[in-house]
Structure 1
Amino acid sequence: MTVETEHSRKYEAIKAEFPGIVTKQFECDTGWFPILREFFAVVRRVNPKGKERDFTLLQIKEKLGGLRIYYRLGKRVATAAETQIHAAYSAAEARAAGTCEVCGRPGVFRVQGGAWLLTRCEDHAEGGVPAPPSAGM
C-alpha cells in the first residue's frame, strides 16, 4: 500500500466517522490521525449531530513541526462547548508535540538541515536531530 493510499484511506475513515465536521483534507501525516480523531470526538460530543454547521473546519496541517487545527465556531455555540473545543485543540497540539507525525509512536521535536522543523521518532527522523528546547514552538 502506498503512503498516499494509506493517507487517503485513513482520512476517509475519519471523515465517514464525523460527517459534516471533517470537511477538509488533512495536510499532515497519518501518525497524528488518532489525535485528530480524539479532537473530532470532542467536537461531536459538545456539538451534536444536526449542529455541524456551528463548527467550520478551515484547515489541518503540520506547521513548524507542530499540529495546527484551524476552525471557526458559530455564534450559537455555547460558551461551555467553545471552552471544551478549545481545550481539545490545546490537548491535540500538546500530544502531537510528542508524537511522530509519520507513525504515531513517541517522537521528539527535530531540526533537519538547519531549517526544517518536524516531530519524528528515530526511525522517521530523516536526518533530523533533536532540537534544543528553546527551538520549540
Structure 2
Amino acid sequence: MSGDVGPSQNVPDELAGLAARVPPGWRGWWFGCGPGWVALLVELGHDLDEIAPRWSLTQAKSKFAELRFYATAGSDDKDVRQRFDERIRRAEVESSRTCEDCGRPGSLWVTPSGWRVTSCQECREAADEEH
C-alpha cells in the first residue's frame, strides 16, 4: 500500500475515514506513506474527529523520515486549533519512532542511496538483501 493515493484511486479500507476528510474537488494526491503508519493515521483521525468535528485533510506523507500531516481544524476557536495542531505534532513525532513499513518500533536510517526513512532493524535487513 505504500505509494501515492489520489482522489480518483481506490482507497484502502483502513483509510476511508481520512479519505472522507479530503475536500471535494481536491485534485492532488493526498496520501503517500507506508503501511506501517496506517494505524497511527487511523488513531490520529479519530482523535481529530473528537477535537474538531469539521476538520479537513489535504495531505499525509512521509518527508525526511517523518509523517507530515497537512490539515485544517475548520474552527475559529483558538483552543480547538491549538489542541488540533498539538495532536498532529504528537503523531508526527511518533512516526519518527515507528517503522514506516511494518509499524514496529524504528529509528532513522539513511539508505545506501541516500533516502532518509524510519525503519526497524528487520525491515532494514530486508531492504539490504534486496539491493
Residue type at the aligned position of 1:56? S
User: Per the alignment, do residues 10 and 31 of structure 1 end up closer, same or farther by CA in structure 2, a change over 3 Å counting?
Assistant: farther
How many residues align? The count is 116
Q: For residues 83 and 116 of structure 2, what CA distance do their matches in structure 1 show? A: 29
The 2-side partners of 1:119 and 1:80 are apart by 32
- Aligned-pair distance for 1:58? 1.3
TM-score by length of 1: 0.71
Cα gap change, 1:12/1:77 in structure 2, threshold over 3 Å: closer, same or farther? farther
Identity value in percent: 26
| Aligned 1:1-137 pairs, distance under 5 A | 3=1, 11-15=12-16, 17=17, 20-22=20-22, 25-48=30-53, 52=54, 55-74=55-74, 76-113=75-112, 115-125=114-124, 126-127=127-128
> 2:26 corresponds to which residue?
none
- Structure 2 gap ranges (5+): 24-28
Provide the secondary structure at the position in 1 that maps to 2:58: strand
Query: What is the Cα-based RMSD across aligned positions, in Å?
Result: 2.5
* SS of equivalent to 1:99: coil
Equivalent residues of 1:10, 1:30 under 8 A apart: no
**What TM-score do you get using the length of structure 2 for normalisation?**
0.74
Distance 1:84 1:37, change over 3 A: same
1:10 Cα deviation after fit: 7.6
| Secondary structure of the structure 1 residue equivalent to 2:48 | helix
